[in-house]
A and B are shown apart, each in its own frame.
Chain A
Amino acid sequence: MPSIKMPKKSTDTDMTPFVDIAFLILSFFIMATKFKPEEPVKVETPNSVSSDILKESNAMLITIDKDSKVYVNFSSVNDANKDKLGTIIDGVATSRGIALTDAEKQNFKGAPILGVPFASLKSYLDIPNAQQGATPQPGIPVLDSLNNELIWWIAETKKAFAGEKLLYLIKGDNTSKYPTFEAVINALRRNEEFKYNLITAQEGAPEGTELFIQRLQKSK
C-alpha cells in the first residue's frame, strides 16, 4: 500500500497577538481601577435610578448596617476642616458630661467609624485607631425616641460646621429595617435638617416609564 505522506505542521502557535490583547486588557483594568476604601462596616446599598454622582465634600455619613445598627463618621471631611472634628468631640463631651482626655479626643479624629452609645464612648476611644475597625460596636441608640443619641451627634456636627455647607449622607443596608431609618430621619428633623442624600448604586430607568422617556428626550 502506498503510504500518504502528511506534511508535518508545527504545533507551535504564535502567541504574540494573544499577549498583546492580554496586556491591553491588563492596562485598561489598572487604569480603571479605583481601590475600594477599607470599610469597617460592610453595607450593601440598594439600587436607584438616580444618576447624581456622590460629591466628595464636607459630609456627615450616617451608616445603617444589616443588623440595623447606626454608625456615624466624618471620613469625607476635607483636610482643612479636620480641626472641626475636635470641635465636635469637645461639644459632645461637654453637652453629655463625658470627661475625655486629650488623647481620647485625638483618637476620635482618626477613628474609622463610630457606633457606640455615649456611655461607652470613653472606653471605645481608649482603643488605638488601628484596632477600632476590628472592634465590634453596638451601634448608636436611636430607636428609643426619648434617648435618640444621634440627635446629639447631629446637633454638635451642625454647630461645628455652622455657616458651611454640610451634607447629610445616609448609607443604609438593603436588609436594614425601616424603623431605624425613620429614627435617623427623625433625629435629623429634630435638628431642623430636612435635606438628605441617600447613597445608592446606580441602575437604569425601566423601559417605557415616564423617566425613561424623559431621559431619552434629553439625550436627543
Chain B
Amino acid sequence: MASIEGGGDSGGHKKGPGVKKAKRMSTRVDMTPMVDLGFLLITFFIFTATMSSPTTMDLNMPKDTDKQEEETKVKQSGALTIMLGKNNNVYYYEGELEANGANFKATDFAGIRKEIIRKKKDVIAAYRGDAACEQKAREKGKDPKAECQDQDLVVVIKPMNEATYKNTVDILDEMTINAVKRFAMVKISDTERDLVNMTEGNAPASK
C-alpha cells in the first residue's frame, strides 16, 4: 500500500523547553497528477496505434492470347455474369444474356453472395462426372469429386466505369469467400452497359 500513515502527534514524550517540536510530514503522496499523466499517455498511444498490419490479396491475370485454341471455353450452363454499377449496385445474369433482357437482374452485394452460392449448388447438382478431370485430380492425390464437381462454374466479372475500386476488391473477395475457382475480369459490352444504364434510369450511352 502506498498510503502509509504517519505516526501522528498524539501521545509523544514531553520535550524539553528548548526543543522545538519537529513538524511531522505525511508520507502519503498525492497520486492524482501521476494518474492524469498515465491516462494522457494511454489515450495518446491508443490513438496512434496501428493495430492491424496490412494484408495483401493476390491477383493473377491471364495472359492475352490471340490463338483461338488457348482461349478458355466457358459452358453457358455454368456461367454467371456479374456487372458492377454505380452506388454499389450489382447486376447479374446466368448463361447467355437474352435478347429482351429477361434474365437480367439487379441486386446488391449482400444478394450476390446468395446468388453465387445458389449457382454453385446448381452446377454441382448438374455434374454428371468428368473422367478426364477426375483422373487428373486422382494423380494429384485430391478428392476427385470435390475437385471436379464445380469445374463448370465460371463467374465473369464486368465492372462498369462508375464502379469503385472497393467494389472490385469486394467482388474478388466474394470469389474467395465462396470458393469459386474460375473467374475472369472482362470488359463490359455495349449491350450490357446500355441495359445497366436503362435500369439505373439513364438514357443509353450514345457511344
Contact = CB atoms under 8 A, between A and B. Distances in A.
Interface in B130-177: 159-170, 172-173, 176-177
Interface of B is mostly: mixed
B100 interface: no
A200 interface: yes
Closest 8 CB pairs of A and B: A29-B45, A197-B56, A172-B165, A174-B166, A22-B38, A46-B166, A50-B57, A210-B179
Contacts of A173: 165
Nearest to B51: A32
Contacts of A198: 56-59, 169, 172
Q: How large is the interface on B (under 10, 10 to 19, 20 to 34, 35 or more residues)?
A: 35 or more
A184 B126 CA distance: 39
B68 interface: no
A45 interface: yes
Interface string B56-70: 111111111000000
A178 B163 contact: yes
Interface string A174-205: 11111111100100110010111111111001
B1 A16 contact: yes
B55 A54 contact: yes
Interface of A is mostly: mixed
A199 B45 contact: no
Interface stretch (A33-41, A103-111, A133-141): A33-41
Nearest to A211: B177
A52 B161 contact: no
Interface in A17-74: 18-19, 22-23, 25-26, 29-30, 32-36, 45-55, 64
B54 A214 contact: no
Given A45-B54, A210-B177, 9 more contacts: A15-B32, A33-B50, A46-B165, A52-B58, A169-B56, A170-B59, A174-B166, A188-B61, A209-B117
Given A30-B45, A211-B179, A178 B59 contact: no
23 contacts: A15-B32, A16-B1, A29-B42, A33-B45, A33-B50, A36-B48, A45-B54, A46-B169, A46-B170, A48-B176, A50-B55, A50-B58, A50-B176, A54-B56, A169-B56, A185-B61, A189-B61, A189-B63, A197-B58, A199-B54, A201-B52, A206-B113, A210-B177
Nearest to B187: A182
A178 B84 contact: yes
Given A14-B1, A15-B32, A178-B160, A202 B55 contact: yes
Interface in B162-207: 162-170, 172-173, 176-179, 187
A137 B166 CA distance: 23
Given A54-B53, A201-B52, A210-B178, A18 B164 contact: no
B39 interface: yes
A53 B55 contact: yes
Contacts of A195: 58-60
A15 B31 contact: yes
